[in-house]
Structure 1
Amino acid sequence: MKRYVLHAPFSIYHFEATTWAHATHKHTYFEIIFILKGRGTHFINGNAFGYEAGDVFLLGPEDYHHFTIDTLTEFSFVRFNESIHSEASAGQDGSWQPVIRALLTTSSQSRGSIVTDSLEKQKLHHLRAVLEEESLRQQSPYFDPIRDSLLRSMLLILARNLFRHVPAKPVVSASLEAILLYIRQHIHQPAILSIDHLADAFHYSPAYISLFFKKHTGESLKQYITKYKIKLIEARLLYSSRTLAQIAEEFGYTDESHFCKQFKKYTGHTPTAFRRGL
């Protein structure tokens, strides 16, 4: 599968189309997709979602997608690397960072367009319009802080809309999706992703939840959690300037040495070698 590369920290791609010219693909970056007009179907990670004017999608580096266009569609793709929101926080109050980090590491693609409220859509499209207009003056010394502020506002609104539909406690359900969502939401908190804790959260016995998960996924809970965490760490290594110690702390490792050993065990490379492109 082709993977598209973004060679700059940020870009906007605005166009109209009657047919989709790209095969199913992944990216090396995050992408906020705005639908300005038109109708069709957006295929994301094997799921099909109808789209219409006003819809907003958020894709991460591991999401794969393509469109089928029914009527002339106007798109605006806001593309950015994770380093954008990391660098923007330097010297600032970073109280919003956990919210954005959770947004960027939580798959939102089981629900299609993130925003359903018309007023919220309007706010996001206004921010997008200002961002597009400002992007015409990227050589200005004021562009970077304006871009970062607008992009941060977009992400916070997206987070508000995504997480307002997610209960503070997991829904007690036999649904595999409920368990997967809980894992994705708490991937930075390994202490509450133990089999015992998950069993307690979903009111199952440890033995039952282990068998249930493996039956429906083909792998154990521990394997899934570790693989998912490693994929997120790979994205951090490739698309952020965080140190190994910072990444280890973010994902709840006891120390950098433990982090490096586990990463090499599952990828065959040290984090440093992986970051250098080996």
Structure 2
Amino acid sequence: MPPPKDLDPYADPRAFYGAELRRLREAAGLSQNELGERAFCSGTYIGLFEAGERRPQLEISRALDELLGSGEHLQRLCRLAQTSKVAGYFADAAELQRRASSIGSFTSMLVPGLLQTAAYARALTRSAHPFAATDFIEGHVRTRMERASLLDSPTAPVLWVVIHEAGLLLPVGGRTVMAEQLSHLAEQAESRPRVVTQVLPFSAGAHPCLHASMTLMQFTDAPAVVYTEAAYNGQLVEEPLLVENYRSAYDLARAAALSPEASLDRIASAAKEFATR
């Protein structure tokens, strides 16, 4: 589990939550493992909360308040720490992406968020929220573009993306937007050595990832996790056996995909088709 580390409890709400949890746990004379056992989670999970490396959850905070006799203290801090620019169901995954050493992504119909252009992200957001105000749409677009700055970090993770060929052909936002998006996708793969893109062709037929989009995040100091997403919800998968199943499915999809070089040719071809229609 993460060793205790000194945090500035006033750095942000998550750090304050972690500092308070550690204070209450130590006052109760419990180790991280002991508290985890009583809360039906692992000591590692408690350690991640205390280190400010995981966004606290209301259900576990309620259990911890009961165990530590702290009223609703941790629950109130949890609500404060859960404030996020991204959708609540994606907030944990967004935070984990920043810590990951590698990110493996499979998408069946869309370009992954970290590689989207503003126009493409805008068209997607508008399709999901057709009656939303412009400020709402633009806020989502800005947040997505801010997340993409992760790839500019000196410690950027290796991003290995597998996109089904269908994702190159779906005209999100129209021909001009798609031509720009696909050109951007190719440029990112060519200019960033830590970004690898593959296309899974229609000729591959059925495959284990056919029914889901998934993101596999691996870390140097923690077990791998998987994030799966649908239209209006997502799920973080941490159970080791399920994570391994997703990892196997991702590896099979990657093996069935075109080589990175052939994939760039297919992306460029699709971009040209949209530009010249």
Classify the TM-score, shorter chain.
under 0.3
Give the TM-score taking structure 1 as reference length.
0.23
The answer to which structure has the higher strand fraction is 1
The structure with higher relative contact order (CA 8 Å, sep 6+) is 2
Give the TM-score taking structure 2 as reference length.
0.23
Decide which structure has the larger Cα Rg and report it: 2
The answer to which structure has the higher helix fraction is 2
